[in-house]
Structure 1
């Protein structure tokens, strides 16, 4: 189901405000570049914006009604005046841009405007980019271009200079969590993943990764053993941790998960229990948070962040984890 203007305003409020102003003040540019990370909503917002430009019954002066013929045809992807160009193989070919130009040289079939959207605009071949540049140099009053990219630096400067660049922020954990739950992920799992990635697709992939599912259990268990004594924790590293977290990237992921637990303790101390990621452990964590001073908690989080830094500077992961366990157990 297509996202409404309201849906997209929750995901990218600044972007939607800019687009709203361009419509209500009659300052719609002839070409835009939507740039931002994968999964930040560029294509959904492109489609929503196209609806606003062609809608027959706008509400509040800028929101598409979602009910008129134009809105419905854009939703279904078969409006004759709205075109989406995607990669043909590894790149966008010159022929695709030529075909678009021929299509747009005709009069609008049904609407006052024509809109074309180019996904992965940084993947245009040299020929395609040059053809598009000619198109942009002679803008038609009724044509709006929307180029989408995750790699703004790869767009030709001559194309950049002819477009209004709108930057999309990475999705917030709340938005990632909501989207993951919409994909039928368990809320607890969605909550954890949303703090590890800002990309919904990567989050879904992570949820199906058996290694990651097991990793969460091992990290929580390490934390629980730490509450007992350092000797048990050191033994647990030998029996369970090292056999699972073998690569540096895996250790880094484990440290991220461990940091989330200590952040949960911080949220509890700040009386923000609704922000706790490991909700299933809330009662247990509440008890722990009572017995840990804010200063010690800050030190513990510092130890984990320092371990992450050392890990990337080629420190032996095994020695690093053993030292971290001793630091976290001491005075906890």
Structure 2
């Protein structure tokens, strides 16, 4: 049986250690601000913290049991003393904060605690933020607030100063890959997208995008074309590459995929074959690595990164890719 607390400790050890200390020492702050990228577990952690405060039979004195009535009601989203505020449309409005204040004037129903979670706190309107500020300035006993944000710089400094701030670290590549596999993303796709982003939601979107799946295949075909000689590479480029990668951002992504191919080759050369971006191409890449020196591989990666820099300076995309292929094949330098 899974243990949500232990899982959270594995993903955010520093944050969970601070929460554990607060609970064990009975020094729960009246307001917390959780900051971090999407998919780093801010809301899940806030709910775990709330369960710890409400739990009737905590494990080791602080971990929620997950089975008592309070834990189950929080899990099901219907505990009367826990309120979650989400943006109404594009923002969190003053009326939502005022409703929260009215609710908190009532006596706690199930326990001595009252907790509220404000998701995407940076999306509060100015009037909502000012209304919340008054609420934070006069905290009630046994009340805990959790403000969640991806951008603390957009939250009023006066609100920040009244919160204990905890920063959630980004998900690392191997952890993200495992979480994608748990979401039924196949291993090759989970491997590649976990190298391109550390945002779970963004990774899921990319992994389920048919255009991206085709982009991966087009880049691999272009790479194979390079091995077949200049003509085949140019033909592959002209026939498929430019029809698929039309926008500047798309070409930049294609170059990122090219870099990842060459990083895999380098990993294979150094005997580090775990964590490849293209694990399904291992056998083929092993053969390719036999015919490349480390110096030649480093040159190739430098050429691709130089192409990315030139792309950022708005060089013509088609000309840039043609010159890159020539460079990779020992042709002329960039102009």
* Same fold? TM cut 0.5: yes
- Separation in structure 2 between the aligned mates of residue 90 and residue 38 of structure 1, nearest angstrom: 17
1:76 aligns with 2:71: no
User: Structure 2 vs 1, CA of residues 3 and 252 (structure 1 numbering), >3 Å: closer, same or farther?
Assistant: farther
Mind listing any 5+ residue stretches in structure 1 that lack a counterpart?
Answer: none
CA shift digits 1:117-158 (9 cap, x unpaired):
001111112222111111111112200100011221111111
Q: Is the 8 A contact 2:31 2:146 kept in 1?
A: yes
- Separation in structure 1 between the aligned mates of residue 38 and residue 238 of structure 2, nearest angstrom: 38
The residue aligned with 2:310 is 310
Q: Is the 8 A contact 2:113 2:142 kept in 1?
A: yes
The residue aligned with 2:30 is 30
The residue aligned with 1:146 is 146
The residue aligned with 1:21 is 21
Q: Is the 8 A contact 1:2 1:75 kept in 2?
A: no
| Structure 1 stretch displaced more, 226-235 or 307-316 | 226-235
The residue aligned with 2:273 is 273
- Separation in structure 2 between the aligned mates of residue 167 and residue 293 of structure 1, nearest angstrom: 42
The residue aligned with 1:121 is 121
Deviation at 1:226, TM superposition (A): 1.3
- Separation in structure 1 between the aligned mates of residue 11 and residue 329 of structure 2, nearest angstrom: 40
1:168 aligns with 2:168: yes
User: Structure 2 vs 1, CA of residues 212 and 132 (structure 1 numbering), >3 Å: closer, same or farther?
Assistant: same
Q: Is the 8 A contact 1:3 1:48 kept in 2?
A: no
- Separation in structure 2 between the aligned mates of residue 286 and residue 117 of structure 1, nearest angstrom: 51
- Separation in structure 2 between the aligned mates of residue 48 and residue 179 of structure 1, nearest angstrom: 19
Q: Is the 8 A contact 1:3 1:44 kept in 2?
A: no
- Separation in structure 2 between the aligned mates of residue 217 and residue 293 of structure 1, nearest angstrom: 25
- Separation in structure 2 between the aligned mates of residue 154 and residue 14 of structure 1, nearest angstrom: 24
Q: Is the 8 A contact 2:84 2:119 kept in 1?
A: yes
| TM-score, length-scaled by structure 2 | 0.93
SS in 2 for 1:275: coil
CA shift digits 1:181-221 (9 cap, x unpaired):
22221121111111122222222222332221111111111
User: Structure 2 vs 1, CA of residues 24 and 300 (structure 1 numbering), >3 Å: closer, same or farther?
Assistant: farther
- Separation in structure 2 between the aligned mates of residue 325 and residue 25 of structure 1, nearest angstrom: 62
SS in 1 for 2:83: strand
The residue aligned with 1:230 is 230
The residue aligned with 1:213 is 213
Q: Is the 8 A contact 1:267 1:275 kept in 2?
A: no
SS in 2 for 1:116: strand
1:293 aligns with 2:258: no
User: Structure 2 vs 1, CA of residues 24 and 328 (structure 1 numbering), >3 Å: closer, same or farther?
Assistant: farther
- Separation in structure 1 between the aligned mates of residue 178 and residue 226 of structure 2, nearest angstrom: 32
Deviation at 1:40, TM superposition (A): 1.9
1:283 aligns with 2:295: no
Q: Is the 8 A contact 2:174 2:275 kept in 1?
A: no
Deviation at 1:2, TM superposition (A): 9.7
- Separation in structure 2 between the aligned mates of residue 65 and residue 164 of structure 1, nearest angstrom: 25
Deviation at 1:173, TM superposition (A): 1.9
